[in-house]
């Protein structure tokens, strides 16, 4: 008698098949052993046998199926639970690798949650950590790092995507007490955590350079700033529980003290921020790819056709082999980039390579997982179709795959490639 396909998510802890660990025994930091990283992660989601793991799969499936705004996570209501691990990491003195591990493990269960945390830590907290004054960090970064406030980063515009230097949002300075104020006008598009963040970092043109190019500066923008509002919230292919939307800035006045870094240094700052963000997106891609493999392996072992498990056919077995090999390689690249960042070494090239490879591996792995599942992979009874939809974002966010190739080629060749 032929076995029926599994009716529950095969990557749940209830499966008899052991799930491969996301970590491969690397110990890159002298501060804490890798086991301590995973110990912290297990406080959020027990990866071995907790009902909480099943619970997050269930919640993720519900949010994935909900197309309306009511289906999005509200981090302002659940910020402690969602972002509390960020505070744990900072308090424990952990490093970029620990952050990447946290994002990957979240992404392995729920891509939307992984993206919320990635945007909050890398894009929200990152600029303040990189360029903020002690006063700015105390006022804005501390609440964000503790999980009390969500962060967002307003860089992309309708006409300034890959060409981030084409920013049209403007900021003009007006004299007054305490250094005067900056008045910001414009809009931002495709902003993660839009409408949920309490603090945004936004970029704006503050003048022109001698060569005629735009002078871009960065500003700290609290969500309650008069003139600030959230416009359209996007209906996306995947990552439905993560809010992505438009920021509208109509005469937003912020004090001079909210200029982040020196005037005109915003472009340089966001390039550094994007380098770190690429590690986060690479980690999210690794998590999604691992989730796809976790689902495909037990399915291939238990689903029978022609009187034998489909995993015993080379056509399926070799897909599994390719998935496992590419995921391990992607994981190593991402971990290496995080390690270089932790050591204070130049990690820009490694981050671009890791993000490029991991994101494309994630798309291939999630597509292969659907193929292993056959017709069952195409329906929402199984999670692999969600992994596939979620993974596509990793080839776009923090710079498309084409932009990553430009970055890599320019660094290696030393030529201006267009």
Structure tokens that stand for 45 in this block: 């989601």
Give the Cβ contact number of residue 379 at 10 Å: 10
Residues near 406 by beta carbon (within 8 Å), at least 6 away in sequence: 417
CA angle centred on 113, ends 109 and 116, rounded to 5°: 150
Say if residues 299 and 372 touch (Cβ distance below 8 Å): yes
Structure tokens that stand for 160 in this block: 């300034």
DSSP H/E element including 213: none
Is there a catalytic annotation at residue 360? Answer: no
What's the CA gap between 198 and 143, in Å, rounded?
10
From its phi and psi, is residue 195 left (phi > 0), alpha (psi between -120 and 50) or beta?
left
Say if residues 41 and 33 touch (Cβ distance below 8 Å): no
Say if residues 188 and 155 touch (Cβ distance below 8 Å): yes
Give the Cβ contact number of residue 15 at 10 Å: 19
Which of 131, 254, 237 lies closest to 182, judged by CA?
Answer: 254
Which of 326, 345, 303, 342 lies closest to 391, judged by CA?
Answer: 326
Say if residues 407 and 348 touch (Cβ distance below 8 Å): yes
Tell me how far CA of residue 130 lies from CA of 193, 247, 301, 353, in angstroms. Answer: 20, 23, 48, 22
With H, G, I as helix, E, B as strand and everything else as coil, classify residue 95: coil
State the angle between helix axes of 266-302 and 348-373 in degrees (0 to 180), rounded to the nearest 10: 30
Which of 114, 158, 129, 192 lies closest to 397, judged by CA?
Answer: 192
Structure tokens that stand for 329 in this block: 């390689």
Q: Among the options 157, 353, 395, 398, which is catalytic?
A: 398
Catalytic residues: 398
């Amino acid at each position: 008698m032929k076995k029926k396909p599994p009716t529950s998510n095969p990557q749940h802890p209830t499966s008899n098949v052991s799930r491969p660990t996301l970590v491969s025994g690397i110990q890159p930091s002298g501060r804490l052993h890798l086991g301590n990283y995973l110990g912290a992660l297990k406080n959020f989601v027990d990866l071995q046998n907790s009902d909480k793991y099943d619970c997050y799969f269930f919640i993720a499936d519900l949010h994935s199926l909900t197309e309306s705004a009511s289906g999005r996570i509200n981090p302002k209501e659940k910020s402690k639970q969602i972002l509390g691990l960020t505070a744990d990491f900072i308090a424990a003195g952990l490093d970029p690798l620990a952050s990447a591990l946290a994002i990957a493990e979240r992404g392995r269960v729920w891509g939307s949650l992984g993206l919320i945390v990635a945007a909050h830590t890398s894009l929200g907290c990152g600029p303040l950590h990189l360029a903020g004054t002690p006063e700015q960090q105390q006022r804005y970064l501390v609440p964000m790092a503790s999980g009390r406030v969500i962060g967002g980063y307003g860089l992309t515009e309708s006409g300034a995507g890959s060409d981030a230097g084409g920013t049209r949002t403007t900021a003009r300075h007006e004299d007054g007490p305490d250094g005067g104020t900056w008045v910001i006008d414009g809009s931002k598009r495709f902003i993660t955590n839009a409408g949920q963040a309490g603090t945004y970092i936004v970029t704006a043109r503050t003048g022109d350079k001698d060569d005629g190019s735009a002078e871009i500066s960065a500003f700290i923008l609290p969500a309650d700033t008069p003139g600030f509002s959230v416009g359209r919230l996007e209906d996306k292919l995947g990552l439905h529980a993560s809010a992505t939307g438009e920021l509208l800035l109509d005469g937003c006045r912020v004090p001079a003290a909210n200029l982040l870094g020196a005037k005109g240094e915003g472009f340089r700052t966001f390039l550094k921020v994007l380098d770190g963000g690429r590690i986060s997106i690479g980690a999210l891609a690794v998590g999604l790819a691992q989730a796809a493999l976790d689902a495909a392996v037990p399915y291939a072992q238990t689903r029978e056709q022609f009187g034998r498990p489909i995993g015993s056919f080379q056509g399926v077995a070799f897909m599994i082999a390719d998935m496992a090999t590419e995921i391990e390689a992607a994981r190593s690249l991402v971990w290496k980039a995080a390690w270089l960042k932790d050591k204070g070494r130049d990690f820009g090239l490694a981050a671009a390579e890791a993000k490029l490879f991991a994101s494309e591996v994630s798309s291939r792995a999630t597509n292969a997982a659907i193929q292993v599942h056959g017709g069952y992979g195409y329906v929402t009874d199984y999670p692999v179709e969600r992994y596939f939809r979620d993974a596509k974002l990793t080839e776009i966010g923090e710079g498309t795959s084409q932009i990553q190739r430009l970055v890599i080629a320019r660094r290696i060749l030393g030529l201006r490639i267009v």
